[in-house]
C-alpha cells in the first residue's frame, strides 16, 4: 500500500501536506481501514525518501483532524470509530427540496451565471468574444473612463492604514455615520428629501431594501401595486415574497392614480416618479399628491425608486415625492450604481422615522452592515465636493450622448417607433410600430452588428407591446448615429413580417 505514495519535491504543496493528503484519501476510501496501523514514521520516511520530520508533521495533521490516534508505545492507528461508508458506493447527489420561497425564486427564471474561473461573466456581457456586437447599446452601465479613479484611490488609501480603527471593527449596521450625514444634506439640498441622517440607512442595493421591506411588512397574498412597464427585479422580489401584483400601465406622466381600480388595496405601491423606469417620463405634482391621497386611504406604503434621479440633462434634478409626504408613508430608494459605478454595490434608503428600527434590526440579521471601507471613501467623496463635480461631468457627457441618440432616432426612425424625449436617465425605450416580434428585431439587429435590448421582460402585460431599449451611457459617441442607422435599416426590412 505504502509503495503507492508518490511525493513530488517540485510540486507547489509541501511534502508533508502531500503525504497527509494521500494518507487521508486512503483512510476515507477504506484502503486503510478503521483500526489499521500506520507504518512507523522512520520506515515510512525511508520508503518515501523524505525526512522523518516530514512524516511526523503529516501524522500530526491527521491526528489533529481526527483520522488517526497515537497509542503510547504501540504506534499510530486509524481511528476505530470512523463511520465510513461500506463498499465503494457511488455518491448520491444531494438535491434538497426547495422551500416555497425557493420555488417562487426559481419561477422568476432569471438566468444567473455563476462562473468559477477568470473574472466571471459580467452582467450584460456576451457569452463569447465572437458574439460581441460592434455597437452595443447596453444600458444601466457607467461610463468608466470619466470616473475619477485617482481621487477614489486616494480616498480609499486614507482608510487603508494599519492604525485605522474603522477597519478593525464591525461598522454600524445602519451605515457609516459621516456617509449618512453627507447623504441627508445632499438629498435635502438637491432632491427636496426631508430627513435626518438617522433616517438614512446604507444598503447593498435596491434589491436588499425591497427584500427587507417585504419580509418586514408583507403577509402572504398581500397585494403590491407596480408600474408596467416597470422594474422586473422588483416584480420578482415581490412575487418571491408571496405578494400578489397588480400592475398599472403608465403613460407619459407616470402612474395615474385615477387608473388604480377601485377596491384594490395594497400594502406597497412601487413607483419611479422622477424618471419612469424603463419608459421614461416624469410624474407631475398633481399625480404625486393623488398617489399620496390614495396611499393614505389604503394605509399603504409608497416605495419611491429614485435610482437615476440625479441624471437629468436639462435643468435641476426633480424633487422627490418623499418631500411631499406628511404621514411618513414614503420610503425613498437611492443608488450609487449609476452615478459612481455598479460594482460598488452601495445604495441607500430613506425611511420614515418609525420604520428605521425594524429595518435596521432586519438588516443586522441578514448582512451585518455594508462595507465600511467603501462607505468611508464615498462619504469623503461627497463631503469634499468630488461627487458634485462628478455629477456635473456625468450630466454633461451623458447629456451629449443622449442628445446624439435622440437626434439620430428622430431623423431615422420616422413612423416606425415612438419614444420618450424626457432628458433623463441612461437609456431610451422605443415602442415599435411593427407587427413583428421584438425578439426578431433584436436578433436581426445583432446580425447587423448592433445590440439592442428587448422590452418585454419589463412589461407585466403579455404579450407585451413590442419595444426595445437602447442605452447611451456605454456606447461610443461616434458609433451612436451608425448604430441607429443600422437598426432602422433592419426595421425597414421587417415591414412585411
Ligand atoms: C429600476 C431600477 N431601480 C433601482 C436600481 C438600482 O439597483 P442597485 O441598487 O442594485 O444598483 C436599478 C438598477 O439598474 C434599476 O434599474
Give residue 353 CA to ligand 1 midpoint distance, Å: 24
Q: Crossing angle, helix 206-217 and helix 232-240, to 10 degrees? A: 30
CB proximity list for 17: less than 8 A, separation 6 or greater: 58, 61
Residue nearest to atom 11 of ligand 1 (CA): 337
197 three-class SS = helix
Residue 123 pLDDT: 63
Closest ligand 1 atom, residue 342 Cα: 11
pLDDT digits (tens, 9 = 90+) for 337-382: 999 999 999 999 999 999 999 999 999 999 999 999 999 999 999 9
Residue 54 pLDDT: 98
Give residue 260 CA to ligand 1 midpoint distance, Å: 25
- Residue 339 phi/psi, 5-degree rounding, is -100, -15
Residue 461 pLDDT: 86
Residue nearest to atom 5 of ligand 1 (CA): 307
Ligand 1 proximity of 473 Cβ (cutoff 6 Å):
no
Give residue 141 CA to ligand 1 midpoint distance, Å: 11
Quote the distance between the C-alpha of residue 48 and its chain's center.
51
Q: Which of 307, 334, 344, 474 to mutate to test the pocket of ligand 1 (most atoms within 8 A of CB)?
A: 307
Give residue 206 CA to ligand 1 midpoint distance, Å: 6
Regions of the chain where pLDDT drops below 70: 1-3, 87-89, 110-131, 142, 495-497
Q: What's the CA gap between 41 and 43, in Å, rounded?
A: 6
Q: What's the CA gap between 176 and 15, in Å, rounded?
A: 47
Residue nearest to atom 7 of ligand 1 (CA): 206
Residue 434 pLDDT: 82
Ligand 1 proximity of 305 Cβ (cutoff 6 Å):
yes
Give residue 335 CA to ligand 1 midpoint distance, Å: 7
Residue nearest to atom 14 of ligand 1 (CA): 140
Ligand 1 proximity of 205 Cβ (cutoff 6 Å):
yes
E strand intervals along 347-483: 347-350, 417-419, 427-432, 450-451, 453-454, 467-471
Cα distances from 95 to residues 92, 98, 114, in angstroms, run: 9, 9, 18
Residue 112 pLDDT: 59
Closest ligand 1 atom, residue 204 Cα: 9
Ligand 1 proximity of 359 Cβ (cutoff 6 Å):
no
Residue 222 pLDDT: 94
CB proximity list for 331: less than 8 A, separation 6 or greater: 209, 213, 301, 302, 303, 304, 349, 350, 351, 352, 355
Q: What's the CA gap between 38 and 57, in Å, rounded?
A: 14
Residue 481 CB burial class (10 angstroms; 0-12, 13-18, ≥19):
middle
Kindly state the helix (H) or strand (E) to which residue 269 belongs, with its residue range: strand 268-271
Ligand 1 proximity of 280 Cβ (cutoff 6 Å):
no
Residue 111 pLDDT: 59
Q: What's the CA gap between 152 and 343, in Å, rounded?
A: 14
Ligand 1 proximity of 277 Cβ (cutoff 6 Å):
yes
Ligand 1 proximity of 335 Cβ (cutoff 6 Å):
yes
Give residue 123 CA to ligand 1 midpoint distance, Å: 13
User: And the C-alpha cell for 346?
Assistant: 452601495
Ligand 1 proximity of 351 Cβ (cutoff 6 Å):
no
Give residue 337 CA to ligand 1 midpoint distance, Å: 7
Amino acid at each position: 500500500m505504502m509503495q503507492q505514495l508518490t511525493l513530488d519535491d517540485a510540486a507547489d504543496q509541501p511534502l508533508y501536506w502531500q503525504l497527509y493528503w494521500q494518507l487521508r484519501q486512503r483512510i476515507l476510501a477504506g484502503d486503510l481501514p478503521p483500526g489499521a496501523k500506520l507504518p512507523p514514521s522512520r520506515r515510512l520516511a525511508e520508503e518515501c525518501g523524505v525526512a522523518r520530520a516530514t512524516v511526523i508533521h503529516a501524522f500530526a495533521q491527521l491526528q489533529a483532524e481526527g483520522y488517526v490516534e497515537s497509542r503510547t508505545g504501540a504506534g499510530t492507528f486509524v481511528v476505530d470509530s470512523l463511520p465510513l461508508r461500506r463498499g465503494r458506493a457511488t455518491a448520491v447527489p444531494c438535491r434538497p427540496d426547495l422551500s416555497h420561497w425557493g420555488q417562487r425564486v426559481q419561477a422568476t427564471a432569471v438566468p444567473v451565471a455563476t462562473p468559477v474561473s477568470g473574472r466571471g461573466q459580467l452582467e450584460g456581457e456576451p457569452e463569447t468574444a465572437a458574439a460581441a456586437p460592434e455597437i452595443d447599446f447596453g444600458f444601466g452601465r457607467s461610463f468608466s473612463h470619466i470616473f475619477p479613479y485617482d481621487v477614489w484611490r486616494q480616498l480609499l488609501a486614507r482608510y487603508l492604514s494599519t492604525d485605522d480603527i474603522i477597519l478593525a471593527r464591525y461598522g454600524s449596521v445602519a451605515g457609516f455615520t459621516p456617509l449618512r450625514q453627507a447623504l441627508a444634506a445632499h438629498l435635502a439640498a438637491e432632491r427636496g428629501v426631508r430627513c435626518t441622517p438617522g433616517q438614512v440607512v446604507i444598503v447593498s442595493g435596491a434589491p436588499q431594501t425591497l427584500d427587507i421591506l417585504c419580509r418586514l411588512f408583507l403577509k402572504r397574498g398581500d397585494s403590491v401595486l407596480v408600474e408596467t412597464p416597470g422594474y422586473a427585479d422588483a416584480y420578482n422580489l415581490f412575487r418571491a415574497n408571496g405578494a400578489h401584483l397588480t400592475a398599472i400601465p403608465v403613460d407619459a406622466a407616470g402612474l395615474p392614480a385615477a387608473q388604480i381600480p377601485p377596491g384594490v388595496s395594497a400594502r406597497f405601491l412601487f413607483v419611479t416618479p422622477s424618471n419612469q423606469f424603463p419608459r421614461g417620463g416624469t410624474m407631475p405634482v398633481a399625480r404625486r399628491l393623488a398617489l399620496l391621497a390614495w396611499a393614505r386611504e389604503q394605509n399603504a406604503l409608497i416605495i419611491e425608486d429614485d435610482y437615476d434621479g440625479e441624471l437629468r440633462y436639462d435643468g435641476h434634478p426633480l424633487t422627490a415625492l418623499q418631500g411631499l409626504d406628511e404621514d411618513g408613508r414614503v420610503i425613498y430608494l437611492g443608488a450609487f450604481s449609476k452615478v459612481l459605478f455598479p460594482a460598488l454595490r452601495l445604495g441607500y434608503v430613506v425611511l420614515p422615522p418609525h420604520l428605521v428600527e425594524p429595518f435596521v434590526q432586519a438588516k443586522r440579521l441578514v448582512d451585518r452592515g455594508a462595507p465600511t471601507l467603501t462607505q468611508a471613501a464615498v462619504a469623503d467623496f461627497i463631503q469634499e465636493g468630488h461627487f458634485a463635480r462628478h455629477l456635473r461631468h456625468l450630466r454633461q457627457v451623458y447629456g451629449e450622448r443622449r442628445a446624439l441618440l435622440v437626434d439620430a432616432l428622430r431623423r431615422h426612425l420616422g413612423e416606425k417607433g415612438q419614444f420618450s424625449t424626457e432628458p433623463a436617465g441612461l437609456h431610451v425605450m422605443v415602442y415599435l410600430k411593427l407587427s413583428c416580434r421584438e425578439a426578431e428585431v433584436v436578433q436581426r439587429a445583432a446580425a447587423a452588428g448592433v445590440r439592442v435590448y428587448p422590452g418585454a421582460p419589463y412589461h407585466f402585460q403579455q404579450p407585451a407591446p413590442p419595444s426595445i431599449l437602447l442605452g447611451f451611457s456605454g456606447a461610443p459617441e461616434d458609433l451612436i448615429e451608425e448604430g441607429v442607422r443600422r437598426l432602422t435599416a433592419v426595421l425597414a426590412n421587417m415591414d412585411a413580417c
